[in-house]
Structure 1
């Protein structure tokens, strides 16, 4: 999820923790647990500092080891230790359980969206993305805001607000999961262009009743469309290039970082006077007729890399960047 949603989760869990009599009865218990749940809800994303090294390092590692089983334990122990030293009267055991819950919910909520995480390391390094909840879900964010406002204004007790809120969100996650599973099963029958071997992926959008679709075919083509009002609408078709320059680009660190996180990579090759421009796009992220998550490599005729980039850019900014670096 986005950082704002993780923040409201931390605030909400701080309110929910007041149902714990050990926390509620300590003078500094609510303060300690609120700090802990806010920090715990943000901790797995501290790997953002990798941006200071390079985009490639950040993309390759974001939501990787920092979201794994060892990291969940590590973040919990670290935050519990620090806060227990500051708030010595608060039960470290109860404080640690609420911090653990905040870290686990961060990782769990990230599993529900399309980018996914490597949450099951070290068992497997596979990226897991359930494609059920959009990275920013207005209902989840809005429900938290309402609960927090009601809490701060004193209209209701947090012991009532947050159990109701998280019970409602559990039902919401269940409903979205069921809808995703049901619609995914219907897709092949609803697609008038369906061919044997086609594989479909349903992706969430901001609209609760509209889903994006990626169809991958055996002939290296992708179709991008949407499920809306019970019907499939295809809006773009693209074919991935097969070229020696594509194979050569896979040795580049920026491309390797890109390929490590996307299940839908597609490369195109543009021949230039100075050699080749290879552009990789992630088919999942189509926005305003563009694919802004890219990895590009400029190489000479002998496939020697001249310049490369990985990250999020519009077509216009990417073209400007590549042209500037070409001369």
Structure 2
């Protein structure tokens, strides 16, 4: 989710404190700023490049230790600005706002490292799109309703829980449709179901079989399955060559679902990797390229974030 949406969620959450949602209310301000704060890791993008940014994005800044630290810093700043405040109460709600950021990031397909630095695992539920209209509507009702009763708060919370359950049910339906569609033609190893980037009623999928990786989209309303790309799986030695490079090690950690293709010319062996999770404007979002010479000496390697025509050289020591 984008920082503005996170801030709106933070404002909405502050309604549960019992105080009115207002820009003159320190709890509302603390909760909103806290909900946007974990994306402070964007500063890496300013001083470095997209490779270093994506390498750290939703990492330590989204972890519990960082959320506590950010909540403390924001509490002190907001408290100084407003003067007479209950610092403990302000800290609790600011932390809740900050935690909401990581929580909602974990509900989409990118995930977040809640327990960094203790583990590098990203937690992700694959339930929500990067922007979710239902969540936004629920938040706006909490922000703009003048008189909020406990019944209203409870109702909104139950709607939210029900919506998450419904999204889980939608994902399971998409998985069953895809499995039924391909169970006869392929030996399925794994079916990955991801929320679509744009369409509410559609889900993306990556089917891993013994011979191919199939990438497509399923409409859970009419059951229609469309295949965007079909990739023949590479030989194990090609995967090993790619993974032995720094960009390969990073890419396999960055994306749990990727494909490697090979191109041979007169002088070089070129390995191109594609992150199969995000498909936008008829192409995949993230790529990487590794070039070997005839003797399989590494010549160069690139990370290509957001655009296949964008090249960020990756050194062997990073």
TM-score, structure 1 normalization: 0.81
Return the match for 2:164 from 173, 179, 188: 173
Which residue of 1 is the match for residue 288 of structure 2?
295
Quick check: 1:225–1:232 contact (8 Å CA) kept in 2? no
Would the aligned equivalents of 1:277 and 1:298 in 2 still touch at CA under 8 Å? yes
Counterpart CA distance in 2 for 1:77 and 1:188 is 48
Structure 2 vs 1, CA of residues 127 and 193 (structure 1 numbering), >3 Å: closer, same or farther?
farther
Aligned match for 1:214, one of 183, 206, 216: 206
| 1:247 equivalent among 223, 240, 244 | 240
Q: Is the 8 A contact 2:4 2:36 kept in 1?
A: no
Task: Compare 223-232 and 37-46 and name the one that shifted more.
Answer: 223-232
2:316 matched to which residue of 1? none
The 8 Å contact of residues 240 and 266 in structure 1, kept in 2 or not, is answered as yes
| Among 52, 62, 67, the residue aligned to 1:57 | 52
Matches within 5 A, 1:1-327: 1-17=1-17, 19-20=18-19, 30-51=24-45, 52-145=47-140, 147-148=142-143, 150-151=144-145, 156-157=146-147, 164-181=155-172, 183-184=174-175, 187-193=178-184, 195-205=186-196, 206-219=198-211, 221-228=212-219, 229=221, 231=223, 233-235=225-227, 236-242=229-235, 246-301=239-294, 302-313=296-307, 315=308, 317-318=309-310
Structure 1: runs of 5 or more not aligned: 323-327
Question: Would the alpha carbon gap of residues 172 and 300 (structure 1) be closer, same or farther in structure 2, given more than 3 Å must change?
Answer: same
Alpha-carbon distance in 2 for matches of 1:49, 1:257: 20
Q: Structure 2 unaligned runs (5+)?
A: 313-318
TM-score with structure 2 setting the length = 0.83
Partner SS for 2:274: strand
Matches of 1:309 and 1:53, distance apart in 2? 14
The question of whether the paired residues in 1 share the 8 Å contact of 2:59 and 2:113 is answered with yes
Q: Contact 2:10–2:100 at 8 Å: present in 1 too?
A: no
Q: Which has the higher helix share?
A: 1
Per mean C-alpha deviation after superposition, the further-off stretch among 137-146 and 43-52 is 137-146
- Kept after mapping to 2: 8 A contact 1:10/1:39: yes
Higher RCO (C-alpha under 8 Å, 6+ residues apart): 1
RMSD: 2.9
SS at match of 2:230: strand
SS in structure 2 at match of 1:312: coil
Cα shift at 1:137: 1.1
Cα 1:4–1:82, aligned 2, differ >3 Å: closer, same or farther?
closer
